Amino acid sequence: MGKEILNLKPESVWKHFYSLTQIPRPSGCEAASIAFIKKFGDDLGLETFVDEVGNLLIRKPATAGMENRKGIILQGHVDMVPQKNNDKVHDFEKDPIDAWIDGDWVKAKGTTLGADNGIGVAAAMAVLEAKDIKHGPVEALFTIDEETGMTGAFGLKPGFLKGDILLNLDSEDEGELYIGCAGGVNGSFTFKYSEEDVPKSHIAFKIDVKGLKGGHSGLDINLGRGNSNKILFRFLYHASQRHGLRLSSFEGGNLRNAIPREAYAIVTIPGENKDKFIKCFTKNVEKIKKELSVTEPDMSMTLVEVMTPAKLIDQKTQQSVINSVYACPNGVIRMSDSMPGLVETSTNLAITKSENGNITVKCLLRSSVDSAKDDLAAMMEALFVLAGAECSFDGAYPGWKPNPDSAILKAMKQVYHQRFGKIPEVKAIHAGLECGLIGGVYPNLDMISFGPTMRHPHSPDEKVNIPTVEMFYNFLVETLKNAPLK
C-alpha cells in the first residue's frame, strides 16, 4: 500500500520519504537511517561527514554562476516519535511504517507516520540529488534524537558547519515562516515506596483511560485535550478520600513531548464499599466526559474487577503521589503578551509509572521566556519536594529569539509572494525547534523554519497534506535560487 505515495508530486521528495518509512528510526535508533543517507551522499560523490555524536552533514557545491550567494544549510532530524494505537501490533525498532493515501493526506495505519521530520529530510535529499535547480553552496545537516533529547543539536561543535543561513525544514503549517521558538527543560520527580500486603477484605479493579487524541505537547497544548495522567489521578484522589482506595500499580504516557493518551491503575477497595465505589466511578466518568465532550469525543474510562494483586504501595507514599500528581500543573500556564495567540509557557504531565519500589513522574516544561521557564520549574519542584519526592531537571535547551530584520526572511517573503500571490505569515512557535541550540553554537546564523502542513504529529493520527508538500518544495527551490548575495 505504501508504494502508492511514489506516484505523488514532487516525485523526488516522495521517493526519499518512502525510503525513510521503510527504515525503522525511533529516537535513539537512527543508525540505519544515517547510514542510508550517508551512502546516498557518497554515491552522489558529495562531501559527506558524520560527527562524533552521529549527526550527518553533506555538502554540495554551488551551481555555475551562483558562487557569490550565501551558503545555505538545510536542516532536519532523522528520528521520529514512536506512538501507536493500543490494538496495533508494531515494533518501531524493526517494522516499516505502513503509509497510505486518504484523499489529500498521507497517513499511517495505526502508528505515527514520521512525516515529522521525514518530509523535511526527504526534501533536503531531493535538493542534494537535483541537477536542474540553481543554488549557492548547500549543506544538508541531518541531526539525531531531536524528539527525546535534542542530542544531535546539543552535540554540534563549532566549525562543522560553513553556511551563513539555516533553513530548518521542521515546521507544520504551509504558508508560515517561523522566526522564533520556545525553550524547554525536562522535570523528573521520583518517589521510593515500600510494599504492603493487601487486606483480606479487599477486592481489586483495573481502571483504564483510553481513546484520547494526544498530540504534540507544544503545538497542541492549547487545544484543551485530555491528559490521561490527570484524568486518572483525578479519580484516584476522590476515591482514596472517600472509599478506602489503595493503589497497587499505575502507568500512563511514554514520551515527554507527547500529550499522554492512555493510562491505567490497579487498585483495591474494601469489599463492603464496592457499590459506592462503582457509583462514584460512574459519576466521575460522566463529569469528565461531559467536560471533554468537544475535544475528546472518543474518550473512554473503564472499570473492571480483576484478580487481587500481590502487594500495595505503602499508604503514606500513595497519598503523597496521588496528591502531588493531582495538583501538578499541566497545560497552558501563560499566553504571550507580545504575540497574540501564541502560548508563552506550558507544561506537559507526560509520564507516570510505578515499578520495583520506584515511582517516576516526568514532565516537559516549555517557555519562550527563560525566566518564566525557570519559575515554573521552581514551582513544580516546591510541590514535589513537599510531597517527599526527589527532583531533577535536565536537557534544558534555549529558545530562539526572533529577528524580524533577517535578510533571509525578507528574501523568502518576496519569493513566496511572487510564487503564490500572497504574503506568508511570520510567527514564533511553542515547540522546541533545534534552531535555539544550533544558534547557540553558531550565533551568526540567519535562521528560518518552514514546512508543509501536517496535523496531529506525535500521535497515530499524524498526517501530511499532499498539495502543500509540493508547495513547500517549490518554495524551497525558489528560495535557493534567490539566496542573498555574500
Residue 103: how many CA atoms within 13 Å on its side-chain side? 3
Active-site choice (146, 173, 344, 461): 146
Whether 146 is catalytic is yes
Closest CA to 118 of 199, 238, 37: 37
Do residues 235 and 284 lie in contact, with contact meaning Cβ atoms separated by under 8 Å?
yes
Residue 262 appears among annotated catalytic residues? no
Q: Distance of CA 304 to CAs 83, 207, 231, 307, 335, Å?
A: 25, 7, 17, 10, 40
Q: Which of 79, 172, 446, 462 is catalytic?
A: 79
How many Å is the maximal CA-CA distance in the chain? 85
CA distance 48 to 448: 24
Angle (deg, nearest 10), helices 11-21 and 466-481 = 120
Q: Which residues are identified as catalytic?
A: 79, 146
